[in-house]
Structure 1
Amino acid sequence: MLSRITQRQLEYFVASGEAGSISAASERIHVSSPSISAAITHMEAELGIQLFIRHHAQGVSLTAVGRQVLQEAKLILEQMNNLYTIASESLNTVRGPLRVGVLESLAPMITPELVFGFGRAFPGVRISQVECNHEELLEKLRSAEIDIALTYDLASSDDIDFQPLAQLPPYVMVGDYHPLATMSAVTIQDLEAHPMVLLDTPWSREYFLSLFMSAGFTPNVVMRSSNLETVRAMVGNGIGFTIANARPKATVSQDGKRLIRIRLAGEVRAMKLGYATATNAQLSRVVAAFTERCRMFVSDQYIPGMAAPSFFDPHAVRALTSVS
């Protein structure tokens, strides 16, 4: 059960329990009150219990079971700190080059914290990074030009080992004045009559088009681009809608136009974000350490640099569990 509760959420819960107030915890750990409230709500949903009694304008107080959970949470955090101490003592054993390939649409979001944060944690590691499309990443893995690739499960291959980290369901993105902008959810059929801007990169385009084909519809593609930010700008300027999986935290395009995310309802295949290595590659200690960081820092609840998916369609959840 606790595997679905992050260290960060435990820290927010402990701070609130000790402070007796979410606002006081916010000041103490320098995290916004909504983020702390969301973490506590997530923990209560995961554990199926009420941790706090909310008092209007008077803070919060722990329930009886909440006090028990607080003690356990403190022990878990202490044990996790011990793990970091052990890890810090072995920093000198993780040294050498790390060649990371990143899907170009993901790189601006996930690499600052995930890749370069790894470099800060292990100063003896020399990091180089390349950004390209999915097809090029696989070729670079096969030719040993890179050690590991951060990408999606867009294509399976016997010579590539893909390890999923998080699911990203597709959603619809429209501009401020699009006819669908006020909708809370739309279906593939709803989209067929509207112009579409397609992210046109190898395997990604096939994935987006397959969402329509599997439902028996044909999209009205009016513009294409291999650059995600160009697609977002076209959408923001009213050229059409797009479908995407990655969720940049920014809700405006680079030219300042507002972008609106809409849930895509129905049985639609989610992409899985993860890392890929060559099946026959002997992973170095550096690469093994980096894969461990990926598993620790990326989950369905948190993806570096992205806004968390705020909705899951029950039908979509059933559909994505059947995807290998």
Structure 2
Amino acid sequence: MPAFTLRQLEFFVAVAETGSVSAAAKHTNASAGAVSLSLRELERAVKAQLLYRRPGYGTTVTPTGAAAYQHAKRLLANAESIEGLSQTDEGALIGELRIGCFPTLSPWMVPRVIEFFAQEHPAIDVQLTEDDSTYLQAHLLAGKLDAVIMYRNALAPGVEAELVAPARVQVVLAADHPLAAFDEVPLAALQPETAIALAQPAATHYLEDVLRVAGFMPNVRWRSSNTETIRSMVARGLGYALVMGRPVGDRTYDGLPLVYRRIQGDIPENPVVIARPRDAPVTPKFRALADFCRQKFSLEGTPVQ
């Protein structure tokens, strides 16, 4: 049997993530002395130095500590999963649920997710992080997030996902653009046009994948991380954009009209998924989140950004 406790692992993980004993003590509701003592006992138990302690400069993990951190996160997650079995039997879920979400999906999905947990599982504290898929998945694999809502094309190694909803890319144009007269726009018709792209690597890769079907690369002149900025630029005739969603009301913030058109022919699929680490247990909280998302969004069709 291991000569260390889950509480010692909890202290170790907290120090590794916060960079100091005092911050870890505050995070775990313990005294700094108790955290320091537990860390020394843990290092004696595993017969290895896990942390570099530098007075005035904080605490960092050693190479051995970095490996131990990953194992500790999994052990704590497994323990939480076992603890959650009784809570599920009683119909109650408790604790934090740390969700990462790709920014363009967040307005469509996150408010309803939070509303669901507030109403059905009020003891769950939903914590939200919005960022690009690479950042979110790195935090997922490091144990800093429990789930990531994203598009499938950006899945990283070591991450597996469950399908939430289909999503089909469409082109958005200024109302007076010549292509707005078409019911469906051929990809080839976009070749001479200026593109405005979302400033996210995953979005850029997917844009290139879509246009590669027609045999050309996009002429991207401007990029923005804000979809509303992109919509406003399109409405002023500065270019077209390929988007995965359509807000209610085809007007920009400043009231200019937009036109959304289906792209003609077959294009690469890129559904919305909910991701978790491949080797992590499926916790009751993750299952509740995934089931809700699938039931709520799978029949809505194209997501609204």
Please give the TM-score of this superposition, normalised by the length of structure 2. Answer: 0.67
The residue aligned with 1:12 is none
The residue aligned with 1:293 is 292
The residue aligned with 1:132 is 131
The residue aligned with 1:95 is 94
Q: Is the contact between residue 102 and residue 151 of structure 1 (CA under 8 Å) also seen in structure 2? A: yes
Question: SS of the residue aligned with 1:193?
Answer: coil
Superposition map of 1:211-290 within 5 A: 211-290=210-289
After superposition, the Cα gap between the structure-2 partners of 1:128 and 1:213, relative to the gap in structure 1 and judged at 3 Å, is: same
Max radius of gyration: which structure?
2
The residue aligned with 2:172 is 173
Question: SS of the residue aligned with 1:271?
Answer: coil
The residue aligned with 2:37 is none
CA distance in structure 2 between the partners assigned to 1:305 and 1:154 by the alignment: 16
Structure 1 residue 156: deviation in Å?
A: 3.7
Gaps of 5+ in 1: 1-88, 308-324
Please say which of residues 92-101 and 236-245 is displaced more in the overlay: 92-101
The residue aligned with 1:209 is 208
CA distance in structure 2 between the partners assigned to 1:90 and 1:246 by the alignment: 38
Q: Kindly, what percent of the aligned residue pairs are identical?
A: 26
The residue aligned with 2:191 is 192
The amino acid across from 1:113 in the alignment is R
Q: Is the contact between residue 162 and residue 290 of structure 2 (CA under 8 Å) also seen in structure 1? A: no
After superposition, the Cα gap between the structure-2 partners of 1:110 and 1:91, relative to the gap in structure 1 and judged at 3 Å, is: farther
CA distance in structure 1 between the partners assigned to 2:124 and 2:150 by the alignment: 22
Alignment root-mean-square deviation, CA: 2.1
Question: SS of the residue aligned with 1:203?
Answer: helix
Instruction: Show structure 1 runs of 4+ deviating over 6 A.
Output: none
Q: Is the contact between residue 149 and residue 274 of structure 2 (CA under 8 Å) also seen in structure 1? A: yes
The amino acid across from 1:245 in the alignment is M
After superposition, the Cα gap between the structure-2 partners of 1:305 and 1:265, relative to the gap in structure 1 and judged at 3 Å, is: closer
CA distance in structure 2 between the partners assigned to 1:244 and 1:305 by the alignment: 10
The residue aligned with 1:141 is 140
Please say which of residues 174-183 and 154-163 is displaced more in the overlay: 154-163
CA distance in structure 1 between the partners assigned to 2:247 and 2:271 by the alignment: 16
Structure 1 residue 90: deviation in Å?
A: 6.6
Determine whether 1:302 maps to 2:270: no
CA distance in structure 1 between the partners assigned to 2:122 and 2:90 by the alignment: 8
Q: Is the contact between residue 249 and residue 305 of structure 1 (CA under 8 Å) also seen in structure 2? A: no
Question: SS of the residue aligned with 2:201?
Answer: coil
Q: Is the contact between residue 113 and residue 305 of structure 1 (CA under 8 Å) also seen in structure 2? A: no
CA deviation digits over 1:120-147, x for unaligned, max 9? 2211111110101111111111111110
After superposition, the Cα gap between the structure-2 partners of 1:304 and 1:154, relative to the gap in structure 1 and judged at 3 Å, is: closer
CA distance in structure 1 between the partners assigned to 2:269 and 2:122 by the alignment: 36
Please say which of residues 152-161 and 100-109 is displaced more in the overlay: 152-161
CA deviation digits over 1:4-47, x for unaligned, max 9? xxxxxxxxxxxxxxxxxxxxxxxxxxxxxxxxxxxxxxxxxxxx
The amino acid across from 2:177 in the alignment is H
Question: SS of the residue aligned with 1:275?
Answer: strand
Question: SS of the residue aligned with 2:179?
Answer: coil
Structure 1 residue 199: deviation in Å?
A: 1.4
CA distance in structure 1 between the partners assigned to 2:104 and 2:141 by the alignment: 21
The amino acid across from 2:222 in the alignment is M
After superposition, the Cα gap between the structure-2 partners of 1:267 and 1:303, relative to the gap in structure 1 and judged at 3 Å, is: closer
CA deviation digits over 1:288-320, x for unaligned, max 9? 211121221121x3169739xxxxxxxxxxxxx
Aligned residues: 218
CA distance in structure 1 between the partners assigned to 2:264 and 2:131 by the alignment: 30
The residue aligned with 1:119 is 118
CA distance in structure 2 between the partners assigned to 1:231 and 1:181 by the alignment: 17
Q: Is the contact between residue 174 and residue 240 of structure 1 (CA under 8 Å) also seen in structure 2? A: yes
Question: SS of the residue aligned with 2:211?
Answer: helix
Structure 1 residue 244: deviation in Å?
A: 0.8
Q: Is the contact between residue 94 and residue 123 of structure 2 (CA under 8 Å) also seen in structure 1? A: yes
